[in-house]
């Protein structure tokens, strides 16, 4: 099926997820992913530096987050700017047609320590991207760090809830609710 998607990068991602689900991450090679996608190994390496990276979409998500924060209204406070970034993620990346893919992706990552490690590092990269974008709005350094950490926590909670097949809500709504819960919890700490 991956073969029929128009975009080589998407075809590789879907082929990789199919193979990781079928036979496990460790038992899948880059050559097999490329073959399943109807592409070559060198095409794979033009899109991804290694097998681990294929499920993580490079820098696209960090860029989306930074743009979402930059585009928040001038009067938005730190956490409200983060909420705008989560809205952008819901519009551009975690769209309803990606929910099923995300459910399967989560299961594959949960099953493999190397992928869990890469996901954790990606999460730190996203937090760093939020911090930079918040500082560029003139928010003081420490408030930028705190808002980004709380935003990253809300993101994680929202992604788990949204990628649950039983959930019908859009990512942006799920994320704003999670952010409200995180804000309320922090007031009680």
Give the chain as a 3 state SS string: CHHHCCCHHHHHHHHHHHHHHHHCCCCCCHHHHHHHCCCCHHHHHHHCCCHHHHHCCCCHHHHHHHHHHHCCCCCCCHHHHHHHHHHHHHHHCCCHHHHHHHHHHHHHHHCCHHHHHHHHHHHHHHHHHHHHHHHHCCCCHHHHHHHHHHHHHHHHHHHHHHCCCCCCCCHHHHHHHHHHHHHHHHHCC
- Residue 77 vs 165, nearer CB to its own copies: 77
Q: In the complex, what is the shortest distance from the CB of residue 86 to its own copies, in angstroms, rounded to a whole number?
A: 14
Q: In the complex, what is the shortest distance from the CB of residue 153 to its own copies, in angstroms, rounded to a whole number?
A: 6
- Residue 6 vs 120, nearer CB to its own copies: 120
- Residue 15 vs 72, nearer CB to its own copies: 72
Q: In the complex, what is the shortest distance from the CB of residue 109 to its own copies, in angstroms, rounded to a whole number?
A: 15
Q: Which residues make up the interface to its own copies (CB under 8 A)?
A: 77-79, 117, 120-121, 124, 140, 142-143, 145-147, 149-150, 152-153, 157, 181-183, 185-189
- Residue 91 vs 106, nearer CB to its own copies: 106
């Amino acid at each position: 099926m991956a073969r029929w998607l128009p975009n080589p990068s998407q075809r590789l991602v879907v082929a990789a997820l199919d193979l990781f689900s079928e036979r496990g991450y460790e038992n899948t090679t880059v050559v097999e992913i490329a073959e399943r996608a109807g592409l070559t190994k060198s095409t794979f390496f033009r899109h991804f530096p290694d097998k681990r990276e294929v499920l993580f979409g490079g820098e696209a998500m960090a860029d989306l987050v930074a743009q979402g924060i930059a585009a928040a209204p001038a009067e938005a406070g730190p956490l409200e700017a983060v909420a705008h970034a989560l809205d952008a993620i819901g519009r551009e990346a975690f769209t309803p047609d990606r929910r099923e893919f995300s459910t399967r992706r989560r299961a594959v990552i949960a099953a493999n320590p190397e992928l869990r490690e890469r996901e954790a590092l990606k999460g730190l990269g996203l937090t760093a991207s939020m911090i930079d974008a918040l500082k560029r709005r003139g928010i003081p350094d420490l408030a930028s760090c705190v808002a980004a950490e709380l935003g990253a926590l809300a993101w994680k909670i929202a992604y788990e809830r949204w990628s649950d097949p039983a959930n019908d809500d859009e990512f942006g709504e799920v994320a704003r609710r999670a952010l409200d819960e995180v804000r309320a919890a922090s007031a009680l700490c």
